[in-house]
Amino acid sequence: MSRLEQGSELDGFRIGPLLHAGAMARIYQITYADGRESLFPMVMKVPLMREGDGAENIVSFEIEHQLLQILQGPHVPRFVAAGDLDRTPYLAMEYLQGTTVDAWLKKFRLAKQAVSVEAIAHVGAALAEAAHSLHQQNVCHLDLKPANALLLDDERIVLLDFGLSCHADYPDLMSEEFRKAVGSPAWIAPEQVVGVRGDPRSDVFAIGVMLYEMATGELPFGFPVTQGGLRQRLWMSPRPPRAWRADLPEWLQEIILRCLEPQAEQRYPSAAHLMFDLRNPDQVQITERGKQLRGRGFWWHLKRWLRAAGMQYQPSPLPTQQIHEVPIVMVALPHDDIGDSVMIALRQATVRSLGTRPGARLAIVTVISGSVTSNAKERSETWLIRHHLAAFKKWAEGIDLTGHQISFHVLESGDVAQALLRYAEGNKVSLIIMGAATQGLSLQRFVATVPIKVAMHAPCTVILVKQPTALQQWPAA
């Protein structure tokens, strides 16, 4: 994506000065091109989608676009508009002037001053309040860090950058697309390291990392650059904050180390509980955590390492009130051209299925194999994904989505059937609709077997669309 010129127009907005140029996006100040007043200052976030880029930027853009439209409250910027992926993708939103927690911390480092206990508790409580606001809306941020938290003059925290977030009611595209640790290495929670997403207590862990940095000037787990370094937080206990700084009270260390527990059920059950302790330090129950003055010894860490090494991390049970399940209907579309009659039949089957499932979530999914991207010499992976997303949105135009949500997902895998099955299982899909003739869904040698594999092993009901008027329904396995 080339840089926008100041003074140019885009979709009714006039581009103002460049405010920030990052590795993932550029931020411009904007106004309405026709000169009318806006209710609040605005900025435009333009993701960088260059030739040769992978899918990360597109996936992050789609997630943030989706969530900004539904998130509400004083801890998120207000959504204005978005640009289409097939033209110029952007997100226009409220411009909030403040200082990121990162910049706030840098002022103390440059002045060689310690952050006061009162300031740590105050900013930490504001962070927890903002995170709790997201969790009440069934959203986990999953990339909380000082650069993504904006401290305003009214002492409110506004959270930024929802490109790695997930919503409990929506398919988790980030997890399905990459199936690896996704997040910022210094702040990522242990469960995220092993690919478990969607636990609000992951955000509590990230706030704990920020509290530790505010209190000590150090990061509890450093800046790991390898998978082994990331996995250390599954068993490693950080050096107690009071070992860095003797004037820290026991109650603050108790709070910080509780946030940093490797098992989620040992952390605060919610960000609201964390906020309460930070605002009521006299109510904090001090345990051995708060009294520590030295780091744990070799044998203690060895025992925890032996427990964690080679074992599959088991996510802690989530509080049931934080999960609200809704029906999810998955439609598997071919990624290549196919006869109009089959595409019409798939749409008709989708319409019928939605009609009997009020409030269902519709996930349009396709799978492209590695050979597809490698054969496209003059087309980047980014171009292919944008092309498919635009085509599928056009296909869905004839569907009445009143009362329904829809999302579009392009997966990449050499095993199409397994990719569809993983998606269905990971996202708790209740119904799969796909063509019985699957041209374009896989390599030619898998044409006859993909639908059978899915129908035999799917964790839900599968409808195979054979022709415009003939449907065969397979019961759940």
Per-residue pLDDT of the chain (477 residues), as tens digits, is 457 889 999 999 999 999 988 777 899 999 999 999 999 999 999 988 766 565 677 888 889 999 999 999 999 999 999 998 778 899 999 999 999 999 999 999 999 999 999 999 999 999 999 999 999 899 999 999 999 999 999 899 999 999 999 998 887 877 655 556 677 889 999 988 888 888 999 999 999 999 999 999 999 998 887 777 787 888 788 999 999 999 999 999 999 999 999 888 889 888 988 998 998 898 788 999 999 987 766 555 566 666 666 545 555 444 433 433 446 788 998 876 566 777 888 888 899 888 888 777 788 888 887 655 455 544 566 777 777 788 888 888 878 888 787 878 888 888 888 999 988 876 667 889 988 754 444 444 444 478 888 888 898 889 988 765 444 455 554
Judgement on whether residues 80 and 116 belong to the same structural domain of the protein = no
Indicate whether 343 belongs to any domain: yes
Q: Do the domain assignments include residue 122? A: yes
Tokens in use for 117?
């206990």
Distance CA 130, CA 76 (A): 8
Residue 358's domain is classified under what CATH number?
3.40.50.620
Note whether 192 and 297 are same-domain residues.
yes
Q: Is residue 1 part of a domain?
A: no
Q: Please calculate the CA angle 458-175-441 and round it to the nearest 5 degrees.
A: 50
Backbone angles phi, psi at 120, to 5 degrees: -60, -50
Q: Does residue 449 fall inside a structural domain?
A: yes
Q: Which of 94, 109, 141 is the last residue of a domain?
A: 94
pTM for this predicted structure: 0.69
Residue 3 lies in a domain: no
Taking each helix axis from N to C end, the angle separating 56-68 and 381-395, rounded to the nearest 10 degrees, works out to 40
Q: CA triplet 243, 215, 227: central angle to 5 degrees?
A: 80
**Do both 252 and 294 map to the same domain?**
yes
Answer yes or no: is 398 within a domain. yes
Instruction: Record the tokens describing residue 371, joined without a space.
Output: 């050979």
Looking at the structure, tell me whether residues 108 and 68 fall in a common domain: no
Q: Report CA dihedral (455, 457, 458, 462) to the nearest 10 degrees.
A: 10
355 in the same domain as 340: yes
Burial of 275 (0-12, 13-18, 19+ CB in 10 A): buried
- 156 and 127 part of one domain: yes
Instruction: Evaluate whether 165 touches 63 at the Cβ level (below 8 Å).
Output: yes
Q: What is the CATH number of the domain that holds 135?
A: 1.10.510.10
- For residue 4, tell me if it sits in a domain: no
**Cα–Cα distance for residue pair 145/203, rounded to 1 Å:** 9
Domain count, the chain: 3
Residues 359 and 405 in one domain: yes
The parent domain of residue 303 ranges over 100-316
